[in-house]
């Protein structure tokens, strides 16, 4: 599983997100065709439009094969698009990340 520390910002005007009811689980686009879900984890009760937040992201869907596919696109400071379906909802900048493969 890939774990990351990131700065996120939601960019849909007038739309805020709750951080407490259900885990936020947007899709992150690493490259064209490389989309992976991730759980946003933090102590923020809500995420307001156009504000920046430092969070942890748990990419529970990235295992060995997926990690091999995204590895060329991974580096600190990389910007990822956050999506709900095909709609862009925000941006995430990876500050750091670690990968732990299957044991």
Q: Show pLDDT as tens, one digit a residue, over the chain (103 residues).
A: 999 999 999 999 989 898 776 779 999 999 999 999 999 999 999 999 999 999 999 999 999 999 999 999 999 999 999 999 999 999 999 999 999 987 5
- pLDDT at position 81 is 97
CATH number at residue 37: 2.40.30.10
Domains contained in the chain, number:
1
Domain, as residue range, for 9: 2-99
Neighbour-count burial of 11, counting CB atoms closer than 10 A to its CB (0-12 exposed, 13-18 middle, 19+ buried):
middle
Q: What is the pTM of this model?
A: 0.92
Q: Are 59 and 4 in contact (CB under 8 A)?
A: yes
Tell me what pLDDT residue 21 has: 67
Alpha-helical (H) ranges within the chain are 64-70
Q: What is the DSSP letter of 15?
A: -
């Amino acid at each position: 599983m890939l774990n990351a520390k990131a700065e996120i910002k939601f960019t849909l005007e007038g739309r805020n997100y709750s951080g407490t009811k259900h885990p936020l689980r947007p899709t992150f686009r690493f490259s064209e065709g490389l989309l992976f879900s991730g759980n946003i984890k933090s102590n923020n009760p809500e995420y307001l439009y156009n504000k920046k937040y430092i969070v942890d992201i748990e990419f529970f869907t990235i295992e060995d094969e997926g990690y091999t596919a995204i590895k060329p696109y991974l580096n600190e400071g990389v910007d990822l698009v956050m999506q709900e379906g095909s709609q862009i909802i925000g941006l995430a900048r990876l500050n750091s990340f670690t990968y732990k493969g299957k044991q």
